[in-house]
Chain A
């Protein structure tokens, strides 16, 4: 599988398509592109008279309503660039993880006011009532923060509040 920044063995055309996908934004978190999010698993370009593009995407969460919009936006953007035979295939395994989010994406999230995901080793601590993660406030950088709810405005976020600057903020939770 190709990770952003690791486009090894790609044709020039596929490189170009990856570049185009970098301009497709996540509709819920518009500072992130679909490549930042790490949901593009592969791009396959087949040249010829009826050249075709297949984009393999993986959902963040099973019920994420943004996935349909994302597929639509990818198709539209590729059409704009003159591609015709476009196929978008959803694959579930291996399951998406926040580990696949790009470093650039994490920085963009923080600048946008959403705390970026921690490294995966602290994902969903199953110990009950455990405050498993030290989340840094994206505004004042304090680690003195508190979990309000594990579920937020979208499936991928949790609600936190900073105990120093008192700001509530979204945390893009580990998954």
Chain B
């Protein structure tokens, strides 16, 4: 995922050309980023349905998936509402996406099912394969701690609907933080095997945590209402406290994490990992094959 400068410039150019980013003062793109992050994480967690390590945890991870999906729907519905209110339309980009070709009203469903990979703005960490239970737990933990901090800020937004969605989501995220923290401790401070698997998960996922705090063009302070980079310190403090309790944090580890870890980014502006196309084709297959199918 290393970009040359020209690739980055090209990406920025595309970012500017996207009709979403030119509208709603950037709010549309920000709402889609929030929605996409929840949707893709929900889809990944749902892969555990019927495959959880024990029945109760199978139910727990799919319950969390459902909460995330519900939150995604709230963000999509709001984005669609704003989009439909606007006089402009989605046309205008050189290569019309399936969403643009479909025409008509934008809905939560067209946003989820008819956008292409480059139009999705989810965090890269959410699209990585579910891996083993350790990787799934650690990802949920990293994301939930982040969402807890993010939604607490968004709750103060002067955009009433965004604030309401954040308020509603926070009550659910509180459960997610608690559940995932307990599992990080249980596995980290568990057997030699579970400890090692958690270390592997940290190794895999840590380079994707920097993206949380790298604001995209649509995440500037006038849109978001606060400086996103300020969430980094409280996030790190919380994560460190739990990893310490889980016997997964050491001075060596800390040095290693602060030096020389290249942080991956690009998801927020549509440059994804190789895993993204596969998850979208599974998720969107039915609507692409039978447009408008309902059940």
A residues in contact (CB < 8 Å) with B: 59, 61-65, 91-95, 124, 126, 128-129, 148-153, 155, 159, 175
Contact = CB atoms under 8 A, between A and B. Distances in A.
Nearest to B160: A93
A149 B172 CA distance: 15
B56 interface: yes
Contacts of A94: 167
A126 B176 CA distance: 10
B56 A159 contact: yes
Contacts of B181: 128
Given A64-B70, A124-B178, A152-B59, 12 more contacts: A61-B70, A61-B172, A62-B67, A62-B70, A65-B66, A93-B167, A95-B171, A128-B185, A129-B182, A149-B57, A149-B59, A149-B60
Query: Chain B interface secondary structure, helix, strand, loop or mixed?
Result: helix
Contacts of B182: 128-129
A93 B181 CA distance: 28
Given A93-B163, A128-B182, A150 B175 contact: yes
B124 to A, nearest CB: 23
B149 to A, nearest CB: 14
Interface residues on B, range: 20 to 34
B134 interface: no
Interface of B: 56-57, 59-60, 63-64, 66-71, 73-74, 160-161, 163-165, 167-169, 171-172, 174-175, 177-179, 181-182, 185
Contact of B70 (A59, A149, A159): A59
Contacts of B73: 62-63
Nearest to B242: A128
User: Would you list the 6 A-B pairs with minimal beta carbon distance, nearest first?
Assistant: A63-B70, A62-B70, A93-B164, A63-B66, A149-B56, A92-B164
Nearest to B181: A128
Contacts of A92: 74, 161, 164-165, 167-168
Contact of B63 (A59, A128, A151): A151
A63 B68 contact: yes
A129 B185 CA distance: 10
A15 B43 CA distance: 43
A19 B225 CA distance: 43
> Which of B73, B178, B182, B185 has the most chain A CB atoms inside 10 A of its CB?
B178
Contacts of A59: 70, 168
A148 B56 contact: yes
Contacts of B165: 92
Given A62-B168, A92-B74, A124-B174, A150 B67 contact: no
B155 to A, nearest CB: 9
Contacts of A65: 66
